[in-house]
A and B are shown apart, each in its own frame.
Chain A
Amino acid sequence: MKFTPIITALALATSSMAINAQQVEVSVTNLAQGIYYTPFLVAAHNADMSLYQLGQPASAELQMMAEGGDISGLSAMLTNGSADIIENPAAGLLAPGMSTTAMLDTADGNDHLSLVAMLLPTNDGFVGLNGWQIPTDAGTYTFTVNAYDAGTEANNEIINGGGAPGVLGIPVEPGGNGGTGGMGLTVVEENSTVHVHRGNIGDDDMTSGKSDLNNAVHRWLNPVARITVTVM
C-alpha cells in the first residue's frame, strides 16, 4: 500500500521526462595543431543506436565517413532511426584551432548525443563521441574526446586521393604540408576493429621516404577535440 503513491509519482516523472524534448547546443573545438576535420555529423538519438563500438568492426557507413569523410551513410542510418541530426555545421572543413556550433532540437527519447568527423590527413582516423547521455538538467558540460582508427584501411600514409571505401590512401592534405613519393608505411591493418588511433608517423622527407606526411606537422596526441554541450 505504501508503495503505490511512490510508483505513481515515478511513472509521472518518467512520462514527463519522455515528452520533454530538449534544445541542445553543441560546440566542437579542433584542438590539434595540424589536423583538419571533414564535415561533422552531430546527432541526438535513442539509447539503442550507436555509430560505432570500440573493439567491434566498423559498419560500412562508418567506413565511408572514416576513409573519405562521407557522412551520408551514417546520416541516413540515423534518420531511419528517427534521430535528430545536424550535418556539416562548419560549412566545410574545421581547421586546426577552430570551433563550430550546432543547435539541436531533440525529439522524444532522443537523449543520446553522438558526433563524428574524419581526421585529415589520415587513412581512416576519426574523432568520435558515441552515445553520450544528454543530461536532463540545464547547464553547460565540457569534456574532451579522442581520435579513433576505424580499422578498415592500412595506414600507409600515402596522399593519393583515395577516399572511397576500400581504396587505399589518404584523400587530401588540406593544409598544404603534404609530401609525395612515399613508399607507404604498411599495407596491412592488423586490428580490424575500431580502436584508439596510434597517431600519424610521417617522416622528414617530402619527396620520398616511407610516408607522405610530415612528422613535425601531422602528428597529434589525445585529446583531439573539446566538446561543450549546453542544455537549454
Chain B
Amino acid sequence: MTFNSKFKKLLTSITLVSLVALAGCNHNDDDEMVVIEPPPPTPVVYTYEVIVTNLTHAQPMSPIAVVLHNEGQLWQLGQSASSSLEMLAESGDNTAVLADAIAIAAQGGAGILASGMQETITLSITDNMPMMLSLATMLVNTNDAFTGINAMEISDLIVGESISIQTSSYDAGTENNSESMMTIPGPAGGGEGFNEMRDDVDFVAMHPGVVSQDDGLTQSALTQAHRFDNPTLMVMITRVE
C-alpha cells in the first residue's frame, strides 16, 4: 500500500512536470519546430609565460621543470623528498618531475641554463584553470641542491598580469654534501648523478651553501667560483592568454 501510494504520487508529479514543460513550449506553437544545436563552447586556453634568470656566479641550472597543478606540492620542508625530486636534485633529470601525478600540464626547459642567462618557457592548458604553478631545477655543481617555486597560487592572475619572485635554494637531503669529484654531476666534477641510496638526513631543508676547497673542504671539487647565496633564480610568471 505504502509503495503503491508513493508510486502514484510519483506519477502525479511526473505528469505535472510534463504539463509545465508543455506550457513552457507555448511560444513555439506558431513556428515550425527547429532544433537548434547549442554552439560548442569556445575552449578557454590558459597560457603562462615563465621567464627564468640564473642569478648565480657559476652554478648552471639543469633543464627547468615547470608544472601546473591543482593539488599537492613538489616538496615539503622537513619531509622526505619524493623519488622524482631526488632524481632532479641529484642528477638534473627533470623527466620524473614533469611526469608527476599532480601535473595537469608540464613543460621542460630547452637545456642547461648557464649562469647569468635567461630562458622563457611557455605552457598552456585548455578548459582547466590551473590553481598552482611549481618550478624546479638543480644547481648542477652540487650534490643535491635545487631551487624553484613550490605550489604558488596563480588562479588570481588575470591576462597580462605578472608575478615576480626570487627563489631560495634547498637541499634534497638525499645525498651527503661531500662535494667530491665523483659525486658532482656538473662540469666542476663530472661525477655521478642519481643514486637511489639516501646517505644524508633524508628531509628537505634550506641549502647551507657549498663550502669549496678554497674555504676549507679539502676533498671538494668546487672552488670559490661555485659558491652561492640566496636568491639563486629570478622568475617572472605572466599569464598571456
A183 within 8 A of B: no
Contact with B along A15-55 (1 / 0, CB 8 A): 00000000000000111111000000000000000000000
Beyond A201-B216, A222-B230, whether A216 also contacts B211 by CB under 8 A is yes
Give CA–CA (A30, B216) in the complex, Å. Answer: 26
- CB–CB A221/B219 < 8 A: no
Residues in A neighbouring B177, C-beta threshold 8 A: 216
Interface string of A91-106 (1 = CB under 8 A from B): 0000011110000000
Asked if B216 contacts A33 (CB within 8 A), the reply is no
| Residue B182 lies at the interface, judged by CB distance under 8 Å to chain A | no
> Which B residues from 131 to 187 make CB contacts under 8 A with A?
168-169, 171, 173, 176-179
Complex: how many Å from CA A65 to CA B173?
30
Which one of B79, B173, B176, B209 lies within 8 Å of A219 (CB-CB)? B209
Say whether B44 faces chain A, with CB atoms less than 8 Å apart.
no
B217 touches A97 (CB 8 A): no
Binds A, one of B7-15, B104-112, B198-206: B198-206
Specify which chain A residues have a CB less than 8 angstroms from the CB of B169 in the assembled complex.
221
Chain B residue contacts of A98, Cβ below 8 A = 78
Tell me which residues across on chain B come within 8 A of A33, comparing CB atoms.
171, 173, 201, 205-208
Instruction: Tell me if B71 counts as interface (CB < 8 A to partner A).
Output: no
- Judged by a CB distance under 8 angstroms, whether B77 is at the interface is yes
Q: How far is the CB of B76 from chain A (nearest CB, A)?
A: 10
Choose among B205, B208, B216 the residue with the greatest number of A CB atoms under 10 Å from its CB: B208
Contact B201 A97 (CB under 8 A): yes
Chain A window 193-232, contacts with chain B (Cβ cutoff 8 Å), 1 for yes, 0 for no: 0000001011110000000000111111111101000000
Is the Cβ of A215 less than 8 Å from the Cβ of B216? yes
Instruction: Count residues on chain B whose CB falls below 8 Å from chain A CBs.
Output: 27
Q: Decide yes or no whether B195 CB sits under 8 A from chain A.
A: no
With A29-B78, A216-B178: A221-B229 Cβ-Cβ less than 8 Å: yes
Contact A32 B208 (CB under 8 A): yes
CB pair B206 A215 closer than 8 Å = no
B201–A202 CB distance below 8 A = no
Are A220 and B206 in contact, CB atoms less than 8 angstroms apart? yes
- The chain A residue sitting closest to B201, CB to CB, is A33
B215 near A: Cβ within 8 Å? yes
B224 interfacial contact with A, CB 8 Å: no
Judge whether B218 is part of the interface by a CB distance below 8 angstroms: yes
**What residues of A have a CB within 8 angstroms of the CB of B219 in the complex?**
204
Check B77–A226 contact: CB distance below 8 A.
Answer: yes
Please judge, given known A-B contacts A32-B205, A97-B205, whether A204 and B168 are in contact too, CB under 8 Å.
no
**CB <8 Å contact, A223 and B206:** yes
The answer for the CA separation of A98 and B177 in the assembled complex, in Å, is 20
Minimum C-beta distance from A36 to chain B (A): 12
Known: A97-B77, A97-B201. A221 touches B209 (CB 8 A): yes
Check B179 against A216 for contact (C-beta < 8 Å): yes
**When the two chains form their complex, are residues A221 and B207 in contact, meaning their CB atoms are under 8 A apart?**
yes
Tell me, in angstroms, the Cα distance from A98 to B178 when the chains sit together.
Answer: 24
Residues of B within 8 A of A29 (CB): 77-78
Complex contact A221–B206 (CB within 8 A): yes
Task: Report chain B residues within 8 Å CB of A218.
Answer: 208
Least CB distance from A46 to B in Å reads 32
- Chain A residue with Cβ nearest B211: A215
Cα A34 to Cα B176 in complex, Å, equals 12
CB contacts under 8 Å to A, within B69-96, are: 77-79
**Cβ–Cβ contact B208 & A203, under 8 A:** no
Write 17 A-B pairs (CB below 8 A) sorted by A numbering: A32-B205, A33-B206, A33-B208, A96-B201, A201-B215, A215-B217, A216-B176, A219-B209, A220-B206, A220-B208, A221-B206, A221-B207, A221-B209, A221-B230, A223-B168, A223-B230, A224-B206
Instruction: List A residues at the B interface (Cβ < 8 Å).
Output: 29-34, 96-99, 199, 201-204, 215-224, 226
The 6 A-B pairs with the shortest beta carbon distances in the complex, nearest first, are A97-B78, A33-B205, A219-B208, A97-B203, A31-B206, A215-B211
